[in-house]
Structure 1
Amino acid sequence: MKITYFKPTKQGVYPIKNGFSFAEEVLDDGNSGLILYAENGEQKKIPFQKEGKRGSLCGIMVEAVSGEFPYLEYNYYHKNTVYTDAFARKVNGLSKFGHGLTAKRKTRGSLTYKEFDWGEDEPLLIPYSNSVIYGLNVRAFTMHKSSHVKNRGTYEGVAEKASYLNGLGITAVELMPCYEYDECIYPASGAVSDKPVKEEIAREVKNLPEAFKEKVRLNCWGYQEGFYFAPKASYSAGGDPEVSFKNMVKELHANGIEVMMQFYFPPEMNQSVILDILKYWVIEYHIDGVRLSGFQIPYLIIAKEPVLQETKIRSSYFPLEEIYGDKIPYYRNLAADNGNYRNDMRRFLKGDENLVGQVIFDQRNNPRDCAVVNYLADYDGFSLYDMVSYDRKHNEANGEYNRDGTDHNYSWNCGFEGECRKKSVLELRKKQIKNALAFLFLSQGVPYLFSGDEFGNTRYGNNNAYCQDNDTGYIKWKTGKLQDEILGFTKALIRFRKEHSILHSQKELKILDTLGCGYPDISYHGTEAWRPDLSYISRMIGIMLCGNYAEKQDEPSIYIAYNMHWIEHELALPKLPKGEKFVPVLWSEEIMRPVSDDSVGKNEAAEKEDSSGEKAENKIVIPGRSIAVYVSQKENV
């Protein structure tokens, strides 16, 4: 072997002719260096030298003088400690998901890389205004036997579901962390993992019940420090996580679906490394976006990085004044969560008071420089089904005495806690899920739907299922009347949203008639047209979106009637131009339900008659806890 030293400018391992260059950060002058491992068990230890040092970076180049490079794996050592490179592009030793393990696994960086043929694959660059994001955990998404995929719980399994996702109508998948990490939380009697899990997720081992102290517990979500440059090996069916991940991205792109990825960074993370990680995944793996959480994230630097200007970047916060000032971005790639949208809409759904004003703000919120993401359910907290089935969390199986997970779920069980066979309860739950879905897809911001919520998946009341690698944490691909009806309603809503650009405008609606057409872009109504009831006790609102402000020509106007009171209410329809009328197209109430998600039916209960038997003009009756959607139509149609 030929060994030379060089002064590196960046950390990492890179192939060179007949070998590799290694650059690692060393913060003191202690005994440290590189260990190479051959397939036959041979090890070669190479110390760092001062002539190969620049700042705190040390560089070594190792080349084979003749033949192939004999070493397949590597690690670094510092004094008596051997550790795996945090910049490794592939990590060996974690390919088996954690079940059945009793001792901490040994890891090594891999020196086997493969070229990948991307063909004509390019970023899809779908604007936020046209996006529907779908969150999923790679393992939980297809691990249940009901998923009917060949490679369950893997990148390949996600790729097998590409046609389903395309048919659902989503435009992007957002993957929970799938960079390499050790999912095992080791017992107190054994070696405890040196990778800290997110504070809200894992408690100190000493506080666990006795039954859990001798077991390896799992962090299935991945919000912890990891090997950020390597895809998670246990999610690969083919044994090569790099190729598996890239094939998944390529297949989803071929189906018109973008790939976003979540990253969690702990407080001690180097900010410049965070930027390197994001750029690496965008360049090497063709991902279309990232969702950031954690600490000390350099939002300003990330937002201004040229390589990431057309990459979707989602987080809970951005310093927009520092990023843009008075300028408008040429491509709106930043997106922040819509404040308390989840809590506001859940409270409105269950009939809480004094929310109408906040709801119409959340429904319209769509800033020009930073998109907002709306969601009522995510990986944490209750699923949509559990939100209408449980009043309190049921996390006993997590082994933390039900103390973990939030106590603020803003849920209502519709009269019975948990699983129930009572028809009236099930019908109400179904209607409430439809109402929640209508909130989501009829709001202006970017809708985010978590996997399984489109057909009523349950986590059995567990609102912090981070360690549940079982039916509780998995998506159950059940079919039945309830599941099929919710799925059909979800598809209908997504399709309706896509067909009407006024529901996902590129610009924020102003509640003004800027076109001079006689109607503002968006307006609010109550029992009288143009006079919304924003009082403390009000639980209803009518919202009209004028089709003249749509980006497409000849779009109809839309009227959305929300009634979250438990009794029916009358709402007024604004008068349309001569020759037009409002007709119902979507509704959540059982008696107004379409036969299938493809049908547009007539609302038998939508028009109220006066005492003489004549139809009361411009008045509709909305049943309790219901939503109805109307579109304008030429009267001769």
Structure 2
Amino acid sequence: MEKKWKVMYFQPEKPGTFIEEHKGAENKAETNKVGKSKVVDSSAVANKVVANKVETSIMEDARSEDNRPERSTVKFAANLLTNEDCGVILYDRKGAQKRFPFHEKGKRGTLYGLELQGEGITDRTYNFYEGNQIITDPYAKEVHGLEKWGAGRTRKRKTYGVLSWQDFDWQDDKPLMIPLEDSIFYGLNVRAFTMHKSSGVKDRGTFEGIVEKIPYLKELGITAVELMPCYEYDECMIEDRKGEMPEGQDNAGINTSLSLHPEDSDETAFSDVFLKQTAVKAGDRHEAVRLNCWGFQKGFYFSPKAAYSAVGSPVISFKNMVRELHKNGIEVIVQFYFPEGIRQLYMLDVVKHWVLEYHIDGVRINGFGIPVRLLAEEPVLKNTKIWCESYRDEDLPYITNPVFKNFIANNGNFRNDMRRFLKGDANLMNQVVYYQRRNPAAYGVVNYMADYDGFSLYDSVSYGNKHNEANGEDNRDGTNDNFSWNCGVEGHTRRKAVLSLRQTQIKNALSFVLLSQGIPFIFSGDEFGATRNGNNNCYCQDNETGWINWKKNSFANEILAYVRFLVHLRRKHPILHMKDELKIMDYKGCGFPDLSYHGTEAWRPDFSYISQVIGIVLCGQYAPGQEDDSFYIACNMHWTPHKLALPKLGKDKSWTKIADTTFVWGQDVDEHNHIQDSSIITINGRNIAIFKTEKIIVQRGGPKRTPVRGRRQKK
């Protein structure tokens, strides 16, 4: 710390750290703006993707004598609501520190600006100080101190902003801008996705692990991955000796007890949250620790999570992941949680930083005071998907984007009402057809039957009650409103009849999601029936309960094959994912409306209180461009067989069954006649069947028949 550095003051316009490096007097590096900082790669990491597998090599120190800049200029701008002594602390690799106080000459409002020039500045880490408080920069683009997952269980961790930044070759990468009507979302937790040994990846629980799973994601057919919070945060939470939950911590592991201002993110702030599980000696009392695996807490929002990097550089790891996903046609959506008190302009800065610096395609925002109008009016974000829980009517004029529909919300109570319908509850038919058709003009809607919170899809048909005892809260945490049914046995069973019913119910649920007009969302593992053992609040389960087990038996493979079929069917046929909401009108005068409903008689659906059976027709003549096939979706959620009527087609067309949730997928059987000569069909109890129009090819001996893609399950 004996180097001589030049200290100057400036009046900043916004918070952030700006770095400028110089190789010599005549070669000045580009001065970078917030979100676009760029210096020599101090972590010296190079990533290559070979044959869809990650090959990672750690290079020698890029800051060799040849590469080291002769001098650097670093501009610090901090928003500090104080009249106390304040400034910047620089730390060298041995921990020695030097303080540089802010000055009134460099103050604008509550912003302080300080500029340092000299050699080796960017080899240091930094913090701000305000009186006796040490503050890690909430705008730090990389944070040091939280690299090892769970290390805070045994010691309090200190955090530091990283000044050095990494060059990265994006190779002409840019966001994909896949239209919402063509999108299929896939949610995952970075660590839980590949942490289980059965994942088969080299770098488990990391961004690199996701890259290794790209071939699987491509084969599945999804168009975007939605990542649970992967910004930097301390996953170790602490509660007092009595095991009481401090004020501000809800029962879903969401920490709201941190400082109300992002600028107050000091070294100890992350420790003032509730935890349990492993006893730790802390002074003269014991504290208990548990892990927040979900990340719904205040964090260092500008930095990717270091524990998710296999190569020691979260910046490089995350960028490499985005680039490789984009090469394979898969978008990246990142989830953020903002607790109460976070400034709206700060939220906007966070979103813009990730869009500009990391090329992400969208954000999913949870929390309080979401700045919907600021996000909608920001020109940089006009092509970025913005996913919020819901919108108010007064927001609609702002979020409507006539060029690229980019705002997204959850489709109301789709999950809850469709789960009730799935298990046979009455008085739901009107909600069912509403959710199936809903596709507002102003924004897209997301349909899902399971997410990170609540039961997994398999558990929703296997458990009637939550089983959260492992969370250490006497099963009091997590919702009691799961709208689930265990199919006759609570939890694990070997009874074939129960397993067969559960399998059918899972396929029914996935049919609801993938055959509705909104944006389908599948949470990782649900595509093959993964279980969380009845735990509907796995935020602290960093183990096999919370991780995805990739071992698949015939039960799982059957569900996965059906999902791939539905995804392929949806992507192939535009009528199944229209840009505009269907009108239930024959506005083309072709004899069929774009969407119609049918019951035991064609064109006469039953919407009564007790109705659990309906036929839905989507007419392919209304698809954009070339005429598409038409589809008849026969749905019976009653437990006994029912009859439905197929509307008559022209003489050269017939209805052909292409799928049935009670069939075992992928096995052709010629014994079933799939050209429907009768206008009346019988659909099994708790069953969805899909029919498609096909032209009749008259051959000697009668019309050509197409075998079914499945067979009836043996009882």
Deviation of 1:124 after TM superposition, in Å, equals 0.6
The residue number in structure 2 matching 1:571 is: 644
Deviation of 1:19 after TM superposition, in Å, equals 2.6
The residue number in structure 2 matching 1:8 is: 12
Is 1:111 matched with 2:167? no
Q: Deviations over 1:127-175 (max 9, x none)?
A: 0000000000000000000000000000000011011101100000000
Please say if residues 88 and 230 of structure 1, whose CA atoms lie closer than 8 Å, have aligned partners that are also in contact.
yes
The residue number in structure 2 matching 1:135 is: 187
Is 1:635 matched with 2:706? no
The residue number in structure 1 matching 2:370 is: 297
Q: 1:192 to 1:84 in 2, by over 3 A?
A: farther
Give me the whole-angstrom Cα distance separating, in 1, the residues matched to 2:275 and 2:233: 24
Q: Deviations over 1:286-343 (max 9, x none)?
A: 0000001100111111111110000001111224544427966211000110000001
The secondary structure found in structure 1 opposite 2:353 is: helix
Q: Deviations over 1:417-463 (max 9, x none)?
A: 00101111101000100100111100000000000000000000000
Give me the whole-angstrom Cα distance separating, in 2, the residues matched to 1:630 and 1:384: 25
Please say if residues 185 and 522 of structure 2, whose CA atoms lie closer than 8 Å, have aligned partners that are also in contact.
yes
Please say if residues 437 and 490 of structure 1, whose CA atoms lie closer than 8 Å, have aligned partners that are also in contact.
yes
The secondary structure found in structure 2 opposite 1:267 is: coil
The secondary structure found in structure 2 opposite 1:216 is: strand
Q: Which moved more, 1:42-51 or 1:522-531?
A: 42-51
Please say if residues 126 and 162 of structure 2, whose CA atoms lie closer than 8 Å, have aligned partners that are also in contact.
yes
Is 1:233 matched with 2:301? no
Q: Which amino acid aligns with 2:224?
A: A
The residue number in structure 1 matching 2:672 is: 604
Aligned pair partner of 2:196 in 132, 144, 153: 144
Give me the whole-angstrom Cα distance separating, in 2, the residues matched to 1:128 and 1:397: 39
> Which residues in structure 2 correspond to 1:61-460 (within 5 Å)?
61-64=115-118, 67-69=119-121, 71-98=123-150, 101-188=153-240, 200-201=252-253, 214-319=287-392, 321-324=394-397, 329-460=402-533
Q: Which amino acid aligns with 2:10?
A: F
Is 1:19 matched with 2:23? no
Is 1:471 matched with 2:471? no
Please say if residues 389 and 409 of structure 2, whose CA atoms lie closer than 8 Å, have aligned partners that are also in contact.
yes
Is 1:46 matched with 2:117? no
The secondary structure found in structure 1 opposite 2:540 is: coil
Is 1:594 matched with 2:665? yes
Give me the whole-angstrom Cα distance separating, in 1, the residues matched to 2:392 and 2:130: 39
The residue number in structure 1 matching 2:568 is: 495
Give me the whole-angstrom Cα distance separating, in 2, the residues matched to 1:12 and 1:535: 60
Q: 1:136 to 1:576 in 2, by over 3 A?
A: same
Q: Deviations over 1:348-370 (max 9, x none)?
A: 10000011111011000011121
Give me the whole-angstrom Cα distance separating, in 2, the residues matched to 1:562 and 1:143: 38
The residue number in structure 2 matching 1:612 is: none
Please say if residues 542 and 560 of structure 1, whose CA atoms lie closer than 8 Å, have aligned partners that are also in contact.
yes
Please say if residues 642 and 682 of structure 2, whose CA atoms lie closer than 8 Å, have aligned partners that are also in contact.
yes
Please say if residues 416 and 425 of structure 1, whose CA atoms lie closer than 8 Å, have aligned partners that are also in contact.
yes
The residue number in structure 2 matching 1:626 is: 687
Q: Which amino acid aligns with 1:60?
A: L
Please say if residues 142 and 153 of structure 1, whose CA atoms lie closer than 8 Å, have aligned partners that are also in contact.
yes
Please say if residues 11 and 106 of structure 2, whose CA atoms lie closer than 8 Å, have aligned partners that are also in contact.
yes
The residue number in structure 1 matching 2:620 is: 547
Please say if residues 103 and 186 of structure 1, whose CA atoms lie closer than 8 Å, have aligned partners that are also in contact.
no
Q: 1:500 to 1:285 in 2, by over 3 A?
A: same
Is 1:58 matched with 2:112? yes
Q: Which moved more, 1:74-83 or 1:518-527?
A: 74-83
The secondary structure found in structure 2 opposite 1:115 is: coil
Give me the whole-angstrom Cα distance separating, in 2, the residues matched to 1:118 and 1:192: 48
Q: Which moved more, 1:212-221 or 1:50-59?
A: 212-221
Give me the whole-angstrom Cα distance separating, in 2, the residues matched to 1:580 and 1:465: 50
Q: 1:91 to 1:328 in 2, by over 3 A?
A: closer
Give me the whole-angstrom Cα distance separating, in 2, the residues matched to 1:605 and 1:537: 31
* RMSD (Å), alpha carbons: 2.3
The secondary structure found in structure 1 opposite 2:124 is: strand
Deviation of 1:193 after TM superposition, in Å, equals 12
The residue number in structure 1 matching 2:90 is: 36
Q: Which amino acid aligns with 1:129?
A: E
Q: 1:607 to 1:536 in 2, by over 3 A?
A: farther
Give me the whole-angstrom Cα distance separating, in 2, the residues matched to 1:603 and 1:267: 62
Q: Which amino acid aligns with 1:56?
A: T
Please say if residues 36 and 71 of structure 1, whose CA atoms lie closer than 8 Å, have aligned partners that are also in contact.
no
Give me the whole-angstrom Cα distance separating, in 1, the residues matched to 2:467 and 2:480: 10
Q: 1:341 to 1:326 in 2, by over 3 A?
A: closer
Task: Give the TM-score of the pair, scaled to structure 2.
Answer: 0.84
Q: 1:217 to 1:322 in 2, by over 3 A?
A: closer
Q: Which amino acid aligns with 2:694?
A: Q
Please say if residues 606 and 614 of structure 2, whose CA atoms lie closer than 8 Å, have aligned partners that are also in contact.
yes
Structure 2: state its 5+ residue gaps. Answer: 22-71, 258-272, 281-285, 698-703, 705-715
Deviation of 1:607 after TM superposition, in Å, equals 8.5
Q: Which moved more, 1:548-557 or 1:468-477?
A: 548-557
Q: 1:327 to 1:280 in 2, by over 3 A?
A: closer
Aligned pair partner of 1:558 in 625, 631, 635: 631
Give me the whole-angstrom Cα distance separating, in 2, the residues matched to 1:603 and 1:216: 61
The secondary structure found in structure 2 opposite 1:466 is: helix
Give me the whole-angstrom Cα distance separating, in 1, the residues matched to 2:395 and 2:149: 43
Give me the whole-angstrom Cα distance separating, in 1, the residues matched to 2:670 and 2:464: 35
Q: Which moved more, 1:301-310 or 1:190-199?
A: 190-199
Please say if residues 82 and 130 of structure 2, whose CA atoms lie closer than 8 Å, have aligned partners that are also in contact.
no
Please say if residues 539 and 565 of structure 1, whose CA atoms lie closer than 8 Å, have aligned partners that are also in contact.
yes
Please say if residues 658 and 690 of structure 2, whose CA atoms lie closer than 8 Å, have aligned partners that are also in contact.
yes
Q: Which amino acid aligns with 2:6?
A: K
Please say if residues 135 and 451 of structure 1, whose CA atoms lie closer than 8 Å, have aligned partners that are also in contact.
yes
The residue number in structure 2 matching 1:611 is: none
Q: 1:70 to 1:127 in 2, by over 3 A?
A: closer
Deviation of 1:393 after TM superposition, in Å, equals 0.2
The residue number in structure 1 matching 2:50 is: none
Structure 1: state its 5+ residue gaps. Answer: 609-614
Please say if residues 441 and 494 of structure 1, whose CA atoms lie closer than 8 Å, have aligned partners that are also in contact.
yes
Percent identity reads 54
Q: 1:606 to 1:393 in 2, by over 3 A?
A: farther
Task: Give the TM-score of the pair, scaled to structure 1.
Answer: 0.94
Q: Which amino acid aligns with 1:137?
A: N
Q: Which amino acid aligns with 1:29?
A: N
The residue number in structure 1 matching 2:38 is: none
Deviation of 1:535 after TM superposition, in Å, equals 1.0
Please say if residues 131 and 447 of structure 1, whose CA atoms lie closer than 8 Å, have aligned partners that are also in contact.
yes
